[in-house]
Amino acid sequence: MSLLLRRTVASLCLSVFFLTSTAYAGGSMDWGKKIAEEGNGSPGSVACMECHRLNGGGMPSIGSPRIAGQTAFYIEHEILGVQKGTRYAPVMAGVVQNLSKSDIRAVALYYAGVRTPKLPDVSPPDPALVALGKHIAQKGLWKKNVPACVLCHGPNGRGIPPHFPYIEGQNKGYLLRQLVSFAFLKRKDDPQGLMRGISRRLTQRERKAVAEYFASLNPPATSSHKK
């Protein structure tokens, strides 16, 4: 009896030691970086950097978002949303299925901490759309009950942590796709359905204009980097 008990205690101690040590590594930025670079090692796992790059610049050509410097809270929330299916993301859905909660936390911390300059977008900004987008972004379309974007996304869209992501300098393909997803598809992870309501009330041209405007700006992380 006592031998069995001792064995159990010993193995428990060992496993606690083992667990805490991996948990320690799992919570660190290094583990997050490793996931970003090569996935978490589970069969079929995909490296985040294949679409978001190692420094989080994203890939404008396929509308993969820039995530460098987005808050860890927000990144974690979004990945969990993709797993749960509350955030419409057909590509990401397959990729994040194998990530554990601590994997997600680690990779969110990693990308929240990296900085990278803006990558060239797929086309130069269209001046007419930028002008319309700027009006909606800075002043709103209150006749349609659309407040200025910057009221919730911060001055010039630099974000209001932790709930409201930065959209300043995000690529236009991603921005437009999210607005469309909020309006018509199954992105429903926005708090209180705020974005779903707002995006539905915009016309497609207005959605495009807003995307074009924010994509024409410099992302907040690099501008603070320059100072």
Partner 1 sequence: MKIGPTLLVLASGLILFSGSRGLASPALAQEPATFQPPSDSEIPSDPFGNLVRKGERIFTQTRTYAGKYVGNDLTCESCHLDRGRKPYAAPLWGAYVSYPRFRSKNHKVSRLGERIQGCFRFSMNGTPPPLDSDIIRSLVAYSFWMSRGAPVGVKLAGARMYKMPPPHRTPDPFRGKKVYAAKCALCHGADGLGTTSGHDVAFPPVWGPRSYNMGAGLAKVSKLAGFVKMNMPLSKGSSLTDQQSWDVAAYVDSQPRPADPRKRQ
Separation of alpha carbons 113 and 72, rounded Å: 8
Binding residue for partner 1, selected from 3, 84, 142, 226, defined by CB under 8 A: 142
Does the footprint of partner 1 cover residue 161 (CB under 8 A)? yes
DSSP 21-46: HHHHHHHSHHHHHHHHHH--SSTT--
Nearer to partner 1, 125 or 135 (CB): 135
**Structure tokens, 128:** 């007419």
CA 108 to chain centre: 9
Residue 46 CB, nearest approach to partner 1 (Å): 32
If the CB atoms of residues 9 and 151 are measured against partner 1, the closer one turns out to be 151
| 226 is an interface residue for partner 1 by CB under 8 A | no
Does the footprint of partner 1 cover residue 203 (CB under 8 A)? no
Q: Which residue has the tokens 């294949």?
A: 50
In the complex, minimum distance from the CB of residue 184 to partner 1, in angstroms, rounded to a whole number: 18
Residue 138 near residue 150 (C-beta atoms within 8 A):
yes
The answer to whether the bond into 155 is cis (omega within 30° of 0) is: no
* Residue selected from 194, 203, 204, 225 as contacting partner 1 according to rule CB under 8 A: 194
26 near partner 1, rule: CB under 8 A: no
Q: Which residues in the 204-223 window bind partner 1 by CB under 8 A?
A: none
The verdict on 147 binding partner 1 (CB under 8 A) reads: yes
Closest by CA position to 54, among listed 9, 113, 13: 113
The two structure tokens encoding residue 221: 């992380």
Binders of partner 1 in range 41-80 (CB under 8 A): none
Q: Which residue has the tokens 């590594």?
A: 25
The residue range among 48-56, 74-82, 111-119, 189-197 that interacts with partner 1, by the rule CB under 8 A, is 189-197
Alpha-carbon gap, residue 190 to 174, rounded angstroms: 16
Q: How far apart are CA 227 and CA 216, in angstroms?
A: 20
Residue 116 CB, nearest approach to partner 1 (Å): 19
Q: Which of 80, 109, 146, 167 binds partner 1 (CB under 8 A)?
A: 146
Q: Supply the minimum distance, in Å, between the C-beta of residue 64 and partner 1.
A: 25
Distance CA 56, CA 106 (A): 14
Residues that bind partner 1 (CB under 8 A): 139-140, 142, 145-147, 151-152, 154-155, 158-161, 163, 191-194, 197-198
